[in-house]
Structure 1
Amino acid sequence: MHNITSYTTASESLSKREKIGQLFMPAAFINDTEEEICALEKLIKEQGIGGLCFFHSRASAATNFEGKKKIIVNTESLSTLKNLIQRYQKAAKQPLLISIDAEWGLAMRIENTPQYPYAICLGAMQNGLDLIEQVGKNIALDCKNAGIHWNLAPVVDINNNPNNPVIGYRSFGEDKNNVTENAIAFIKGTKEAGILTSIKHFPGHGDTATDSHLDLPLIDKNIDELWDNELYPFRKIVASGVDSVMIGHLSIPALANGSKISSSISKDIIKGVLRTELSFKGVVISDALNMHAVSKNYPIKGELEWLAFDAGNDILCFAENTVEGIETILKNANNKAIEESFKRIWLLKEKAINQIDNHKLQAVDYTTLLTKIAKKSITQIVGNTNNFMNAPFVGIDINFKEENTFFTTIKKEKDFDFYNLSDTSIPEIKAKIKDKENILLSIEAPKVKPQNKFNIPKEYWALIGELLETKNVILYIFGSPFILNHLNYKNTKSAVVAYQDFEEFKTVAANHFLGKINAEGKLPVTIS
């Protein structure tokens, strides 16, 4: 890919229409058909768009968040992505700015790529900023290798609503200082590898029970509450320096002069709070404009794109009506507003594209990094594991996979029976443990989101409840700590959260049970 010209040269040579094209960042899908790829190439050539945001497939896109379209598995997604980026860059007159959501690595969008721990796990570490910085750096290096300039991360929403259907595990926790410090460390690591970042979802998406992919959430708090909590990470991180801020689709009347308009199209929130009160000078990018929180309210093509730009967004992410959007902005916008946004975008592109590549920068070994994080994050909620050290016990594995490293690791040192619900029925398990007192219970939910009780079947929940009432239970959770909200964990002899279902985390948890390591983590959220 060729370098990009200076802003001065571009400003003089690009027409007003071409400058407006630079505002647009439509979605690109890794698993598109050849016909769909050609259509996007045509759009790039004819409309001179400024960048692309990559998603796995149309079935996995934002508006199908809880949809029923079948998601295609493509084990060659990474090589497909690399080839598509090169192909789309060739179609562009000006170099494209390539972005992706890689909050926990390219694995968020791409199969067979490294997946790093969720933010909620990182937030459980005490004195773990160096490890979070390294996570940011490793993810950034993966992005760079793929041809991506911009990781639309980290999430700096404060996780203060356990029923949040879309943020939850993506947040570092409920403490504003913890969220801020961890996000700054992530940004530092990402920046060192030469990749751009974006903090999201301004003004703060944590305290919502509505998924903005599907509808517009309302946060009805007063200004003092918002300023002290939701806005705190944004205030601090903007002051410390960040490339861009992503605007969420949220209704926050206290910040919008009483209006229930979405923050993503609110001049009061973007130009008022972010630009004026927080003095943010960088690029403002909208959250995906196809999300139903806003898109379903503006059926006229180009209207939403205009409203988003007029409110203060520089980059229109996942704009579905690029051609009509360009025409509407060209018709309505003044030259000064266009030039200001164009300048911010172009300088960001210069920063991303014209940098000197540092080939000496190396990623830390993946397994080593995960093991360190697992040791620092594992959290003892109640009790201790000494109860079972010399007593006989039975293992019960609520897992949706055939093998569990947690139990097989313990089995190397202790003789015990264990049963997996994937191959042993609940009646069979009850019969086998009828006369047993001590149970080592491992729970690994099939889903990290809280809807439908993490997709754990109701008969499994019934068994868990019965075990906690009738047996001596030591419990290990490999997933969201919010699983604990659905069970009486105080009835356990010990309850431990290991956060991730990775092999490294299961090995660490096994060693914790065996008394070889201490639990160093602290819950980053409150369990009711």
Structure 2
Amino acid sequence: MNKIHLPSKDQVTLFQKVGQLFMPAVFINDTEEEVQKMEQLIANYNIGSLCFFHSRASAATNFEGKKQIVYNEKSYGRLVELIARYQKAAKIPLLIAIDAEWGLAMRIENTPQYPYAITLGALQNGEDLIYQIGKSIGRDCLSAGIHWNLAPVVDINSNPENPVIGYRSFGDDKQKVFTKAKAFIGGMSDAGILNSIKHFPGHGDTATDSHLGLPVIDKSLEELQNNELYPFQELIQKGVDSVMVGHLLLPQLDSEGPSTTSNKIITGLLRNQMGFDGVIISDALNMHAVSKTFPEKGTLEAKSFSAGMDVLCFSENIKEGIDIILHQETEDRIEESFHRIWKLKEKAFSNTNKSDELDWETASKINQQVAQNCLTERFGSPELLEEIQTSNFLNVAITNSKTNLFSKGLEEAFGHPVLNTSSDREIFRLKHDETETVVLAIFPPAVKPKDRFGFEDGVLKTIKYLFKTKKVLLYLFGNPYVLDILEIQPKTNVVLIYQDFPEFQQVALQHFTGKISATGSLPIKLKTF
């Protein structure tokens, strides 16, 4: 990673300073025409930063799922190429940002993926591992030319119906969210990568997806301070680079509009009461929670800036936003935000750490360690494991086309063929009456709760039927909130694996054969248990 040099701060004009406020989205799979348009935008309007996404189909505007996401195995190389092109087009070097909550793999194929925050939340005293993950993700970011990881999520996920945070949160305990986020940030900082805690003032207790609508958090300031605001306040006191403000309506704090445009929340609460003097960045301004409320181009950007925002993420109306801000705001107000952004750039560009390639070996080792320490048992009948091991159990799998090393391992070790409920339905019916015991491996189709995590009606009926009629030992390789839609019976035994990585499947097999014990703890509350 080549060292980047900033020009003299005194040489930056007022027009250029306003351009520095804007962080448009850029897409790895854009066409050459779209890339050239962005190069012109960067050059003409002195853009300050960019946020990379995989493609327009995968970005926030497509959360309705109407556009098909195309797989691109060369995404990483394309990312490196585009960063170089966009930096060349910039008169003032750009800060390059990305959402890499669980690694570059959140946006880019064929890059190391680390566990979701909910998996890390299951670790007991796992801060050392989480620190290593933050550091490794930071190094992977550096290898591509990225300076700013818009992570971690410090929302306290207290609502099981939450459609957008869920697995991205460390859990529902404020102290554990704080300590785990602190470890993650520590690792990133030691790698030389900027951080951003999100989504202020707390997106965990809502059942609305802010990509599609405006969530309402109807709580008093005292209630927020006792829970949602706790990790933000503690981390601010420890020192963070930036805070991302989410799109939320908090009527007890400001009934006139969302937090994105609220002076009371951004300046009054975050800046003045909580004492944060770093960069405040918006969540994506194209998200429907706010974009539909401000149809006139540039007004959302101007209103957010007026409320106290420094960086306007995923702005789609840069020219108009610049014009309104220059017309409406004082030079002193513009200088305040520019100074914070410039300070962030000086920090990022002074980093002498270098990373020339992705660290696949470290990722695999860390994933193995996390897998060994996150497994969580929820046993209704603890003696069942030994009973099943010595029985003629059905080896049933619901894989949804995912590689299933676990069930194959059971077949090799115990001689029970894998029965996939979708492809082996007839065999499954024939063998169903042969035994009372079942080892059921479930690989959910999706990690998000939309449309029941992607399960088909027939598959859900089969799962529920097994729970009602058999002694089932369930290994769940995915989001633990899936359990709330499966109608688990009181005596059902569940082992939560959280991820479907090969390392996690191998550890699950070791658990079944008694070689390791489950030491993890469920970091959230379920309706089921």
TM-score normalised to structure 2 length: 0.96
Distance 2:253 2:402 in 1: 51
Contact 2:468-2:489 at 8 Å conserved across structures: no
Where do residues 286-297 of structure 1 align in structure 2 (5 Å cutoff)?
286-297=282-293
Q: Which amino acid aligns with 1:172?
A: F
What SS is found at the alignment partner of 1:41?
helix
Where do residues 378-527 of structure 1 align in structure 2 (5 Å cutoff)?
378-382=375-379, 383-384=381-382, 385-401=385-401, 403-425=403-425, 427-527=426-526
Distance 2:392 2:519 in 1: 27
Matched, 1:273 2:272: no
Aligned residue in 1 for 2:250: 252
Contact 2:113-2:363 at 8 Å conserved across structures: no
Q: Deviations over 1:274-312 (max 9, x none)?
A: 001110010000001111111111111111110011011
Contact 2:27-2:53 at 8 Å conserved across structures: yes
Matched, 1:301 2:297: yes
Contact 2:6-2:93 at 8 Å conserved across structures: no
Aligned residue in 2 for 1:92: 90
Q: Which amino acid aligns with 2:511?
A: H
Distance 1:409 1:417 in 2: 10
Distance 1:200 1:182 in 2: 14
Distance 1:262 1:345 in 2: 24
Q: Which amino acid aligns with 1:445?
A: P
Distance 1:187 1:522 in 2: 22
Q: Deviations over 1:66-90 (max 9, x none)?
A: 2311112111111001000000000
Matched, 1:217 2:215: yes
Aligned residue in 1 for 2:6: 5
Aligned residue in 2 for 1:322: 318
User: Which residue of 176, 179, 197 maps to 1:178?
Assistant: 176
User: Residue 279 and residue 317 in structure 1: after superposition, are their counterparts in 2 closer, same or farther (change >3 A)?
Assistant: same
Distance 2:66 2:427 in 1: 34
What SS is found at the alignment partner of 2:137?
helix
User: By how many angstroms is 1:393 displaced?
Assistant: 0.8
Aligned residue in 2 for 1:372: 369
Contact 2:402-2:443 at 8 Å conserved across structures: no
Aligned residue in 1 for 2:348: 352
Aligned residue in 2 for 1:38: 36
Distance 1:260 1:76 in 2: 46
User: By how many angstroms is 1:492 displaced?
Assistant: 4.1
User: Which residue of 309, 313, 334 maps to 2:309?
Assistant: 313
User: Residue 298 and residue 402 in structure 1: after superposition, are their counterparts in 2 closer, same or farther (change >3 A)?
Assistant: closer
Using the TM superposition, name which of 393-402 and 162-171 deviates more.
Answer: 393-402
Q: Deviations over 1:246-287 (max 9, x none)?
A: 00000011222xx14110110000001100111001000000
Q: Which amino acid aligns with 2:91?
A: K
What SS is found at the alignment partner of 1:433?
helix
User: By how many angstroms is 1:487 displaced?
Assistant: 2.5
User: By how many angstroms is 1:34 displaced?
Assistant: 0.7
User: By how many angstroms is 1:392 displaced?
Assistant: 1.8
User: By how many angstroms is 1:389 displaced?
Assistant: 2.3
Contact 1:401-1:422 at 8 Å conserved across structures: no
Contact 1:377-1:519 at 8 Å conserved across structures: yes
Contact 1:199-1:245 at 8 Å conserved across structures: yes
Contact 1:157-1:205 at 8 Å conserved across structures: yes
Contact 2:25-2:313 at 8 Å conserved across structures: yes
User: By how many angstroms is 1:421 displaced?
Assistant: 2.4
User: By how many angstroms is 1:134 displaced?
Assistant: 0.8
Q: Which amino acid aligns with 2:46?
A: G
Contact 2:301-2:321 at 8 Å conserved across structures: yes
User: By how many angstroms is 1:413 displaced?
Assistant: 2.4
Distance 1:195 1:249 in 2: 25
Aligned CA RMSD, in angstroms, stands at 1.6
Q: Which amino acid aligns with 2:305?
A: F
Contact 2:142-2:355 at 8 Å conserved across structures: no
Distance 1:327 1:439 in 2: 66
Contact 1:153-1:199 at 8 Å conserved across structures: yes
Where do residues 40-55 of structure 1 align in structure 2 (5 Å cutoff)?
40-55=38-53
Query: Where do 5+ consecutive residues of structure 1 fail to align?
Result: none
Aligned residue in 2 for 1:242: 240
User: By how many angstroms is 1:407 displaced?
Assistant: 1.4
Distance 2:289 2:363 in 1: 37
Where do residues 329-340 of structure 1 align in structure 2 (5 Å cutoff)?
329-340=325-336
Distance 1:400 1:151 in 2: 31
What SS is found at the alignment partner of 1:200?
strand
Q: Which amino acid aligns with 1:346?
A: W
Where do residues 64-103 of structure 1 align in structure 2 (5 Å cutoff)?
64-103=62-101
Q: Which amino acid aligns with 1:315?
A: V
Contact 1:392-1:438 at 8 Å conserved across structures: yes
Query: Where do 5+ consecutive residues of structure 2 fail to align?
Result: none
What SS is found at the alignment partner of 1:512?
helix
Using the TM superposition, name which of 64-73 and 488-497 deviates more.
Answer: 488-497
Distance 1:366 1:80 in 2: 22
Distance 2:452 2:6 in 1: 52
Q: Deviations over 1:463-514 (max 9, x none)?
A: 1111111111111111011111122334445211100011111110111011
The count of aligned residue pairs is: 522
Q: Percent of counterpart pairs with the same letter?
A: 52
